Amino acid sequence: MKLILNEEQNYLKETALSFVSEKTPVSHLRGLRDSNDQLCWDKEIWSEMVKLGWSGILIPEEYGGSNFGLTGMSVILQECGKTLTPSPLFASGVLGATALTKFGSEEQKQKYLSKIASGELTTALAIDENSHHNPNICELKAIKDGSNYVLNGKKIFVVDGASADIIIVVARTSGEDDDVGGLSMFLVESDCSNLKKVKLDMADSRNYANITFDNVSVDESMILGEIDMGLEPINEILDVGRIALSAEMLGSCEKAFEITIEYLKERKQFGVPIGSFQALQHRAAEMFCEIELTKSAVMAAMQGAEENSNDLQRLSSLAKSIVGETSHLVSNEAVQMHGGIGVTDEYDIGFYLKRARVAETILGNSTFHQERYANLTGF
């Protein structure tokens, strides 16, 4: 497995770096937060991302995408992570596009994939029902009623759920609440009756929602994949999402480290830069080493996805576990090395800490993925 990018992927990475540096510096996120923007992302910026083809990277060419692969999407998200760029790219371009491409019927692909690629439609994946990510715990029921299914239950912490046009809902169609079988996916239009969305105010100022389904009726044509498909197919979508999110988190780590190193060179105490203090040098060296190890784990997972590796589940959990721990370490150290000003709103470094804490929990924290990795390995 080659842990390097090819020429096209490097070009895409450079294009993304140029875009986010010019269009979405951290001040962009700050402005959205201060204006209490209801979308938590900018429509014009999203339109420009769509024009660059980012929304269709994981979508086959026959449905309007480029099918450039997960590595291409991941390097874009890595650069977006460096400036904490808010957008529907992860929820729609990764989770939604993957779910429909892998499990959608031909009719569903024709109807929705081209709209995701063109930016006309955004999606969200509703899977978690409590504060700890555990995909096979599902109490939201879907009961067959003639040619329809009636959904009752609640999903929480749905990424981009407050603005999504289509909600991809994981529901239980048979079995007990914690069975790995008996799970199905449904496409639910967010403006349908008896569906209630409550936007959440999170520390990282991004778009999340709790969604309640109260006798929401869905036509059987909106079933995504097979009924009672179980957890394994759903994990295919989640693993793609975990790898892409890991790349974004890696980008945030890299930028937080860069900002901190510059501060250590500039801030003086006792007449010398604080970066000359050996204790701080040791802590900076530890951050550097952990980031380099994390790069290898994330790159291995990206390449594993490109090669359809049989080890993809383990690679995905390894990447998300390691990047979660590194993100925690780097964001903590970055704020501490800035001293008291690190926790003030005047400095951008606090935004990286807030984003790190939220991103660590999305699609499973380090503890969840360490346990999953051990189980997959046979321990």
Tokens of 61: 């060419």
pTM: 0.97
pLDDT of the residue at 177? 82
pLDDT at 178: 81
Last residue of a domain, one of 229, 256, 285: 229
Q: Is residue 1 part of a domain?
A: no
Give the pLDDT confidence score for residue 256 in this predicted structure. 98
123 conformational bin, left if phi > 0, alpha if psi -120 to 50, beta if neither: beta
**Which stretches of the chain drop beneath a pLDDT of 50?**
none
Residue at a domain's end among 175, 200, 229: 229
Backbone angles phi, psi at 170, to 5 degrees: -90, 120
Check residue 3 and give its pLDDT.
Answer: 73
pLDDT in tens, 305-344: 999 999 999 999 999 999 999 999 999 999 999 998 998 9
The answer to whether 161 and 211 have CB atoms below 8 angstroms apart is yes
319 and 297 Cβ atoms separated by less than 8 Å = yes
Verify that 168 and 249 share a domain, yes or no: no
141, 186 contact by CB (below 8 A): no
Q: At which of 69, 102, 121 does a domain end?
A: 121
Q: What is the 3-state secondary structure (H, E, C) of 187-242?
A: EEECCCCCEEEEEECCCCCCCEEEEEEEEEEEEHHHEECCCCCCHHHHHHHHHHHH
Q: What's the number of domains the chain is made of? A: 3
Distance CA 80, CA 76 (A): 6
* pLDDT given at position 2: 67
The reply to whether 77 and 128 lie within a common domain is no
